[in-house]
Homo-oligomer: A and B are copies of this chain.
Amino acid sequence: MKIGFIGLGNMGSPMAGNLIKAGHDLVVFDLVEASVNMLLAQHPGKASAAASPRMLAGAGMDLIITMLPASQHVKAVYLGPEGLLANVPQRMALIDSSTIDPQTAREVASLSASQGNVMLDAPVSGGTGGAEAGTLTFMVGGNEADFDRFKNIFSKMGKNIVYCGASGNGQVAKVVNNMLLGISMIGTAEAMSLGVSLGMDPKILAGIINTSSGRCWSSDTYNPYPGVLENIPSSRGYTGGFGADLMLKDLGLAAEAAKLAKQPIPLGSLAQQIYQTFSMQGNGALDFSAIINLFRKK
């Protein structure tokens, strides 16, 4: 398959690499020329570069995948006279793996459909580690037949490929899961800090929670209290992992979606403010489990 790939950042670059390794022909684009050159150098002779999204749109692709930082970049790449939608041939298949607000995802998909194209929103979880190992989770929204058709492509980049329903639902699933993750992580941080300051051993406390009704992924797999679990960010100074500023971004997407849907999210919204405070204090680059530092005496 001839695949166009736009967006070669920390996530996009290894994803594109895995498609190349699987034998696909790639034409790539990124605003940062160095990122393009690095990818081409890593896979000599297996990929080529396009000079712009418009050029890529006209280069005879079977499928175009985008992996961009935020909504405004997705709009910039897809819309306007220089964008993909105005320049791809009819019946083109488009997959956007960026994490953006569901509303924008739906607007772009709807414009795409009105021009006879196929579009899937397919945000991922699993971080840069998952992108490199090809073990990402894809949450996919759009037509189910289209999902089935491209499932094989997703499986070159990920392990868990989930169909979420109509267009935009991939983004909904991602944003809603991550909001609950942010809440659980802060909740676990509060609970562990409180229990320890009341005299409990952190491992014993985690053990009890993990076999009880307080159990959650943040307590049993990614416990923020240092020393409770090995080989996760809390055991190595909160380096690596999923950055606090990325969690902040996702909580912001949840808050925006909730506002449009007229849904109250008191804990989700307070979690956003807590991560905003943490970020302002200069900690945005730490793993998001470092939020426990707000609740622990130094």
Contact = CB atoms under 8 A, between A and B. Distances in A.
A269 B267 contact: no
A265 interface: yes
Interface stretch (A28-36, A39-47, A226-234, A273-281): A273-281
A212 B139 CA distance: 11
Contacts of A212: 125, 137, 177, 181, 217
Contacts of A199: 102, 165-166, 168-169, 172
Contact of A270 (B178, B198, B269): B269
A193 interface: yes
A200 B173 CA distance: 8
Stoichiometry, copies per complex: 4
Contacts of A280: 262-264, 295, 297
Contacts of A294: 264, 277
Interface string A220-250: 0110000000000000000000000000000
A173 B205 contact: yes
Contact of A164 (B164, B181, B208, B211): B208
A268 B194 CA distance: 11
A219 interface: yes
Interface string A274-298: 1011011000000000000011010
A90 interface: no
B193 A177 contact: no
Contact of A187 (B139, B258, B263, B268): B268
A273 B277 contact: no
Contacts of A181: 212-214
A162 interface: yes
A255 B255 contact: yes
B177 A263 contact: no
A257 interface: yes
Q: Which of A162, A179, A269 has the most CB of B within 10 A?
A: A269
A63 B187 CA distance: 38
21 contacts: A162-B207, A165-B199, A169-B199, A173-B208, A176-B209, A177-B208, A181-B213, A183-B190, A184-B187, A190-B263, A193-B263, A194-B261, A198-B261, A213-B217, A213-B221, A262-B276, A264-B273, A265-B295, A267-B267, A269-B269, A280-B297
